[in-house]
Amino acid sequence: MQARVKALETLLTDKGLIDPAAIDAIVDTYETKVGPRNGAKVVAKAWSDPAFAAWLKSDATAAIASLGFAGRQGEHMRAVFNTLETHNMVVCTLCSCYPWAVLGLPPVWYKAPAYRSRAVIDPRGVLEEFGVALPEGIKIRVWDSTAELRYLVVPLRPVGTEGFSEEQLADLVTRDAMIGTGLALAPEDIR
């Protein structure tokens, strides 16, 4: 796939149809400005502000937009909160619907047929492949993202983060945790 993309980009550049600098700017936007850091800020605010968390539960699209993260594949959002009893995981079984505004570019594995089918059939097995071994008693709920509705998983807030600023909390939130294929990092994981 990478070779095909590079060949297409080279062909379009040679014909003067695209500017490589413009492509670089677009990629940089989605990797650094419109990436998982946006979602991490949303999660950190939900962890530290109960009123925002309640708003995120009732109207995720508006709550997320209030932080300046809206548009491109994030017009209709729903936040699902992990609890001690339930772990949430997101998949798009039809294609690869993904909230770009809060998570950036979708990872290659998210678009892969193997993930899209197995996440529904064997979510616990898929999570184990990602290194997430949940206790047997925890229910796993799989959400099917669509063009009409995309999901953001709010992972459990790590123990020992009382007194952390929103910025410190955001450092604990990974893209995979917001898809549900990972957990938030423990404070000792980032020091």
In the chain the first and final C-alpha atoms are separated, in Å, by 36
The residue written with tokens 């060949």 in the block is 7
145 is catalytic: no
Residue 132 corresponds to which amino acid? V
Q: Of the residues 58, 95, 117, 165, which is catalytic? A: 95
| Residue 17 CB partners (closer than 8 Å, separation 6+) | none
Interatomic CA distance for residues 132 and 13, integer angstroms: 43
> In the 8-state DSSP scheme, what is residue 75?
S
Q: Of the residues 58, 66, 97, 117, which is catalytic? A: 97
Cα angle vertex 84, ends 81, 89, to 5°?
A: 45
Q: Of the residues 58, 66, 92, 117, which is catalytic? A: 92
DSSP per position, 150-168? EEEEEPPPPTT-TT--HHH
> In the 8-state DSSP scheme, what is residue 35?
S
Q: Of the residues 48, 58, 96, 117, which is catalytic? A: 96
Specify whether the CB–CB gap between 178 and 152 falls below 8 A.
yes
Interatomic CA distance for residues 128 and 51, integer angstroms: 34
96 is catalytic: yes
48 is catalytic: no
Positions annotated as catalytic residues are 92, 95-97
